Structure 1
Amino acid sequence: MNTEGFHQGERIIQRLAGVVDEADRLQGMLQPPHLTGGLSTVLAGRSFAVLTARDHHGARWISPISAEPGFLVAGGTTLTVHAAPATDDPLHSVPVPQHIGLLAIDFGIRRRIRVNGKLTSRSADLLTVHADQAFGNCPSYIQQRHLTTARMSACTANPGHRQVQSNPDTGALGDADIELISNADTFFLGTTHPTRGADASHKGGQPGFVRVDDGEIWWPDYAGNNLFNSLGNITVDPATALLFIDFTTGRTLQLSGEAKVEWLDTSTCQDEGGTGRRVRFTPRRIRGGQIPLRGDLLSFSPHNPAVIKSPEA
């Protein structure tokens, strides 16, 4: 896979945003990685990650993976994941080979690392990834949480159990789905490029920063590192996945669909992020589930913009 420099979608967004020079100074982050030293140590200490890939039907999803610290073992250009998505997750039996994106995050210290590459092998609880890119992101918009492991009841542990009101066949959101999305301060985003691979990223803000509008979901794009990995991918390939987690109950909501980047006239549109950009997502498939994690909120990110209560849709 060609990993040299930015791809055409990332360049389009950078030019429209007027940050080409700023992005060029960060191109070294996209070089082939060496998963050794500090990077390996940070990955080894994580207990939570998300994985984005396609299922056997070609639909893109992003799925949670949780295990005791040490389940992410890195060395050279190989990342070995000693865990897998839950048995009722659409990526539990993820097809091999394919390009995937993985994000490991520690909410307590607001640290995250992205690993993009090719899934080369899979067994029941073992994934092997050849990494093409690996780099850290700034702590902005990460809400500080203390994660703990919760016991799963017989009801929630049943792979056939769904505590959602959504229609998985039509992508229609139910009332409980809309409530979870509208109250979220965190979600995860999975995107892809046809030749440059997949990417998993974290999005955060004050509760209410994600909106549901006539069956579609949209959120403002806040200022970041100017790489525009996610928005660049969406510009080329709209296939997108979202993951929402209720950290109080462990409930999860996974959505597979298409997204597009919208550019706004900041002089006439309420734009809390001040970037003139937002992303609009149309769900096509929905899955609800449960994970054995809880997350006590310690503090919101000081970088979160205030949410405009009645934004223009």
Structure 2
Amino acid sequence: MSVYHAGSRALQEQAGLREAADHVGRAVGDGIKPVAAAFLELQPLLVIGAADPATGRIWASPLSGEPGFVRATGPRQISVTGGPAPGDPLAGALARPDVPVATIALDPRTRRRMRLNGRSGPTRGGFSVTAERVFANCPKYIQRRAEYWWDPHRRPGPSRHGHELSGRQAAFVAGADTFFLATAGPSGVEASHRGGNPGFVQVMSPTELSWPDYPGNAMFLSLGNLALDPRAGLLFLDWADGTILQLTGRARTESAADGTRTVRFSVEHAVETSGAVPLRWAEPEFSPANPAPTE
């Protein structure tokens, strides 16, 4: 089975990067190597993307725990202890068997990230994922956060729902240096990372966001999905107090004559939860790959 589908291939061809994509694609496998298993067991944070079975909307959700809460339990399986909070948009999805999911483990301390896509099913203490695609990405645009502190007393507050961003939420998004993006396509779900200097995500209105698509690994997995299916989920995280903002809606990619690309996202539903992640991370050291902000 090819790593790429028609949506990704079209963008690779348009950018003249098909050969580079084929080279990167050879590193994608369906097994969890020992180095990947060791990396997972060190992580206190995992982001998962999936569709809400009740609405079909795509969401990205954070999962957290003491290191070891995510671990490889076989050459093609990971086990996750715990799961989303009861009010999380993906709580229902992860309680079902055989659900297409995507995960990304990102370690700000080392600027490493690993993606594992497959199918999940509930377990006694959480859920498991049987891997279909496993691969690492380069450290581009990951902000380094040298350490984190676990807050065992932090508890999620009540979730606030809406169909557009409040002024405070818009400021949160506009000041973000990182978010996570979930998309869906013929090959399943993808969960990816987007990073840049604060301001790289622009709030055009209470229901419209945009961000530049910076040059990456030439795979075009997320944008390839959006070319065929506009559903998308975004996750913004306050790395200090654990507040999360989850957005679901539709996205499209616009290409300019000079070859640059901009993604435009329309908000359909927003969920904000304070204290959702019991981690406090150090202040960021911005990635040297981040383009300078434009006026």
Aligned-residue CA RMSD (Å): 1.6
1:211 aligns with 2:202: yes
Pair 1:181–1:125, CA change in 2 (3 A): farther
For 1:284, the aligned partner's letter is E
Q: CA deviation at 1:80?
A: 1.3
Q: CA deviation at 1:216?
A: 0.5
In structure 1, the gaps of 5 or more residues are 267-274
1:140 aligns with 2:140: yes
For 2:234, the aligned partner's letter is L
Q: CA deviation at 1:29?
A: 2.4
Name the SS for the 1:225 alignment partner.
Answer: coil
Residues 159-185 of structure 1, C-alpha deviation per residue, up to 9 Å, x if partnerless?
Answer: x354xxxx52xx211101100000000
Counterpart Cα distance in 2 of 1:298 and 1:201: 19
Pair 1:264–1:152, CA change in 2 (3 A): farther
Counterpart Cα distance in 2 of 1:24 and 1:117: 21
Residues 276-307 of structure 1, C-alpha deviation per residue, up to 9 Å, x if partnerless?
Answer: 11111111111111321222124111110001
1:300 aligns with 2:278: no
Judge conservation of contact 1:205–1:304 (CA < 8 Å) in 2. yes
Match of 1:223 in 2: 215
For 2:11, the aligned partner's letter is I
- Residues 125-164 of structure 1 aligned to structure 2 (within 5 Å): 125-145=125-145, 146-152=147-153, 157-158=156-157, 160-162=158-160
Residues 57-108 of structure 1, C-alpha deviation per residue, up to 9 Å, x if partnerless?
Answer: 2211100011111112212111111221122211123243221100011110
- Residues 268-307 of structure 1 aligned to structure 2 (within 5 Å): 276-289=260-273, 290-307=276-293
Pair 1:249–1:14, CA change in 2 (3 A): same
1:242 aligns with 2:234: yes
Name the SS for the 2:227 alignment partner.
Answer: helix
1:15 aligns with 2:10: no
Residues 112-162 of structure 1, C-alpha deviation per residue, up to 9 Å, x if partnerless?
Answer: 00001111x214641111111111111111111122222445xx534x354
Judge conservation of contact 1:62–1:241 (CA < 8 Å) in 2. yes
Q: CA deviation at 1:4?
A: 2.1
For 1:208, the aligned partner's letter is G
Match of 2:51 in 1: 54
Identity of aligned pairs, percent? Answer: 37
Match of 1:271 in 2: none
Match of 1:110 in 2: 111
Match of 1:98 in 2: 99
Paired residue for 1:64, among 62, 65, 90?
62
Counterpart Cα distance in 2 of 1:189 and 1:53: 11
Counterpart Cα distance in 1 of 2:23 and 2:239: 36
Counterpart Cα distance in 2 of 1:129 and 1:81: 8
Question: TM-score, normalization: structure 2?
Answer: 0.92
Name the SS for the 2:270 alignment partner.
Answer: strand
Pair 1:124–1:206, CA change in 2 (3 A): farther
Counterpart Cα distance in 1 of 2:165 and 2:138: 32
Question: TM-score, normalization: structure 1?
Answer: 0.87
Counterpart Cα distance in 2 of 1:127 and 1:64: 14
Residues 6-53 of structure 1, C-alpha deviation per residue, up to 9 Å, x if partnerless?
Answer: 11011011011111111111221233x221311111111111110001
For 2:67, the aligned partner's letter is P
